[in-house]
């Protein structure tokens, strides 16, 4: 029985990264290493892109032979060709919608942000300020993009391959996301307890929901954005009280919408 490719999963995440382009280049040249050079990413990043797309699609997209001086040959499967055709159709439809929204750029930006479906409750439009590379790790320094949130500063820690696939560069608009359960809420003045470098933001609690496993706290940050995190059970935190929220750099996820 023939498996069906999951177009919604493979094309519903990270359409602005280079994964589809890598697949397209493999179809044209029959080589993963050549595709990596054409797209401008490392060979390792190209393999990562293929693995991610294959997992999302649920079926093999490339038949590949590892090894050889050229890095191994590769040919698209029937599902791979179908996925490329679907990507092209979606790109054309998206262009048509953006053309209709061209008279109201603000509406277009809002629609693009809302098109990202995720369980992460903390989401902030940001701009990349700088990138600092530390071996295989890239620290991405971000600033709030909206006028009311330009004081927001945060840092994400990702792999070099992920930075390549997202084509991150200073000035690029991104969406920063973080699970509420990854954000720790402390009373104002408390010392941070995370071993990894963390993002720390002062603010004021706007809602405290008590729970056996921890108190969920919504806060208005001094930087001008809303954030939701979790405090230890019986934290004693109260609405309108001053708090500090912190999150590890590795907990910040980046999405490029485009």
| DSSP per-residue string spanning 9-61 | HHHSS-TTSSHHHHHHHHHHHSBHHHHHHHHT--HHHHHHHHHHHHHHHSS--
Q: How confident is the model at residue 15 (pLDDT cuts 50, 70, 90)?
A: very low
User: Residue 159's domain is classified under what CATH number?
Assistant: 2.40.50.100
In a domain, 106, yes or no: no
In a domain, 113, yes or no: no
pLDDT given for residue 103 in this prediction: 63
Over range 189-201, report the average pLDDT: 76
Instruction: Specify the range with the lowest mean pLDDT, choosing from 53-57, 129-133, 160-164, 172-176.
Output: 53-57
Q: Which domain holds residue 229?
A: 118-258
pLDDT at residue 237 tops 60: yes
pLDDT given for residue 1 in this prediction: 43
* Cβ neighbours of 103 (radius 10 Å): 8
Looking at every residue in the chain, the average pLDDT score rounds to 82
pLDDT at residue 4 tops 80: no
Higher-pLDDT residue of 10 and 228 is: 228
Are residues 123 and 200 part of one domain?
A: yes
Are residues 132 and 255 part of one domain?
A: yes
Are residues 257 and 131 part of one domain?
A: yes
Are residues 155 and 245 part of one domain?
A: yes
In a domain, 80, yes or no: yes
Over range 106-112, report the average pLDDT: 52
């Amino acid at each position: 029985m023939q498996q069906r490719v999951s177009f919604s999963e493979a094309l519903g995440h990270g359409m602005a990264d280079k994964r589809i382009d890598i697949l397209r280049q493999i179809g044209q040249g029959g080589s993963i290493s050549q595709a990596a050079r054409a797209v401008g990413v490392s060979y390792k990043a190209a393999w990562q892109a293929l693995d991610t797309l294959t997992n999302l699609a649920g079926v093999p997209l490339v038949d590949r032979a590892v090894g050889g001086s050229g890095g191994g040959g590769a040919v698209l499967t029937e599902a791979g060709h179908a996925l490329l055709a679907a990507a092209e159709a979606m790109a054309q439809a998206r262009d048509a919608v953006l053309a209709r929204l061209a008279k109201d750029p603000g509406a277009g930006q809002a629609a693009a942000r809302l098109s990202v479906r995720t369980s992460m409750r903390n989401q902030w439009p940001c701009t990349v300020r700088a990138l600092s590379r530390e071996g295989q790790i890239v620290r991405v320094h971000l600033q709030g993009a909206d006028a009311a949130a330009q004081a927001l500063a945060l840092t994400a820690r990702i792999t070099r391959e992920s930075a390549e696939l997202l084509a991150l560069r200073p000035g690029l608009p991104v969406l920063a996301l973080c699970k509420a359960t990854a954000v720790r809420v402390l009373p104002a003045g408390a010392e941070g307890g995370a071993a990894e470098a963390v993002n720390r933001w002062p603010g004021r609690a706007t809602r405290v929901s008590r729970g056996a496993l921890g108190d969920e706290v919504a806060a208005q940050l001094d930087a001008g954005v809303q954030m939701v995190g979790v405090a230890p059970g019986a934290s004693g935190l109260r609405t309108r009280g001053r708090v500090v929220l912190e999150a590890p750099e590795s907990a910040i996820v980046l999405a490029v919408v485009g």
